[in-house]
Amino acid sequence: MSRVEVRPFEAADLAACGTLLAERHRQHRIAEPLLSPRFEDADAAIAELTTAFEGAGASGAVAFRAGDLVGFVLGAPKSSPLWGPNIWVEAAGQAATDAEVMRDLYAFAATSWVAEGHTAHYVMVPAHDAELVHAWFRLGFGQQHAHAIRPASRPATSMVPRLSVRRAIRADIPALAQLDLELPMHQGLSPTFSPGKIGTVEENLADWTEDFDDDGYVTFVAEHDGEVIGSAIGCALEKSSAHLGPARPDNAGFLGFAAVFPQARGAGAGRALGEAIIDWAAASGFDSVVTDWRVTNLLSSRTWPKLGFTETFLRLHRMIGY
């Protein structure tokens, strides 16, 4: 096999790389047909890749063997300080005919990324492609997050004694404001250690009071013996900024938030809330339901797969220098 030649990603590469991305997505949809068919079309893939290429700070690499394109990687930084001095390879940011080529591509692209101070690297990898995932693992990456999907068919409802789930009402706002803190506080504990920004109950009360009647979102609460112990929020997937390009199915609902008070965990409230969002999505005419979770969150990483969610993309992460 001839040697791979790697050089910087240029605008002239967009058409060929978009065609390679479309083929990658076609293979992905064989494994996960609920993903959008749009990106099997080369023109759509090229358009998505062009948008990424034209983003602020975008850069990457392309690889050729005997004059033929065999892979590309494209990343860009996000402005949010939550991600550190970062570079992101999003869902449309990579494709290769041979997974091993991705290691050469990353080695080339990461040279300039690190030189520019971007030492926190994130990459979205199609979950079905075990060889590609393994190539990234052998570059020092580990799995941080999972994106997943399931059909929007009504699930068999769990029956838990003295537990009920209903739509939230304004009288629930104090409990909802407190529950908004529970997820980031739980994420701050071992083994996740990633709380993100934790607000205050007062801030949450103000937000809920102002936005409670926003019909773009649906909120459910779980009650045990008449006391609110958990909540979940659903919406159309288009409202999520974390599911983009090939990672955004058409006509999908989104399980965007769920939390249960610590003293009430383990009794099935989280599962019941998830079932309520899935049932709402089915009744609302969505074709699928999407969610995501930190794989180090022991609660969500066990509950959501039991509800039929299967991984579509893995977010892998590497910190340079440690």
221-280 residue pLDDT tens: 999 999 999 999 999 999 998 899 999 999 999 999 999 999 999 889 999 999 999 999
Give residue 81's pLDDT band: very low, low, confident or very high (50, 70, 90). Answer: confident
Structural domain includes residue 318 = no
Instruction: Say yes or no to pLDDT of 304 above 90.
Output: yes
Q: With respect to residue 117, please indicate whether it lies within any of the assigned structural domains.
A: yes
251 and 133 in a single domain? The answer is no
Q: Verify that 215 and 295 share a domain, yes or no.
A: yes
Give whole-number Cα distances, 226 to 28, 73, 212, 233, in Å.
Answer: 45, 53, 21, 20
Q: Does 29 fall in a domain?
A: yes
CA–CA distance, 30 with 297 (Å, rounded to integer): 29
Query: What domain range includes position 120?
Result: 4-140
Residue 290 lies in a domain: yes
pLDDT at position 45: 98
Residue predicted with more confidence, 192 or 162: 192
**How high is the pLDDT of residue 265?**
95
Flag whether 212 is in a domain. yes
Output the pLDDT for position 193. 94
* Residue 233: inside a domain: yes
Q: List the helix and strand counts (H, then E) for the chain.
A: 8, 13
Last residue of a domain, one of 113, 140, 167: 140
Q: Determine the Cα–Cα distance for residues 176 and 92; give it in Å rounded to an integer.
A: 36
Residues 174 and 134 grouped into a single domain: no
Do 167 and 297 belong together in one domain? Answer: yes
Predicted confidence band at 156 (pLDDT cuts at 50, 70, 90)?
low
Examine the pLDDT at 95 and tell me if it is beyond 70: yes
Whether 185 maps to a domain, the answer reads yes
Which string of b and e fits 90-106 if b means at least 16 CB within 10 Å?
bbbbbbbebbebbbbbb
The verdict on 250 and 109 lying in the same domain is no
Is 145 within a domain? no
Q: Quick check: 322 pLDDT over 80?
A: no
- pTM score, whole prediction: 0.95
**CATH number of the domain enclosing 263:** 3.40.630.30
Residues 250 and 159 placed together within one structural domain of the fold? yes
State which of 111, 140, 169 marks the end of a domain: 140
Residue 98 and residue 123 share a domain = yes
Q: Which residues contact 270 (CB under 8 A, 6 or more apart)?
A: 230, 258, 260, 299, 300, 303
Largest Cα–Cα separation, the chain: 70
- Residues 155, 300 within the same domain: yes
Instruction: Look at residue 80 and tell me whether its pLDDT is greater than 90.
Output: no
Given this model, what pLDDT does residue 289 score?
A: 98
Rounded Cα distance, 232 and 224, in Å: 15
19-46 per-position pLDDT tens digit: 999 999 999 999 999 999 999 999 999 9
Q: Are residues 53 and 109 in the same domain?
A: yes
Say yes or no to pLDDT of 138 above 90: yes
> Number of structural domains, the chain?
2
Query: Computed from CA positions of residues 113, 118, 121, 126, in that sequence, does the dihedral angle turn out positive or negative?
Result: negative
Q: Which of 84, 109, 140 is the last residue before a domain boundary?
A: 140
Residues 180 and 112 in one domain: no
Residues 157 and 248 both lie in one domain: yes
Closest by CA position to 160, among listed 269, 259, 279: 269
Taking residues 162-175, report their average pLDDT: 96
**pLDDT computed for residue 160 by the predictor:** 77
Confidence class of residue 162 from pLDDT cuts 50, 70 and 90? confident
Listed residue (209, 206, 234) closest to 220, CA to CA = 234
Please say if the pLDDT value at position 1 is more than 70. Answer: no
299 and 158 in a single domain? The answer is: yes
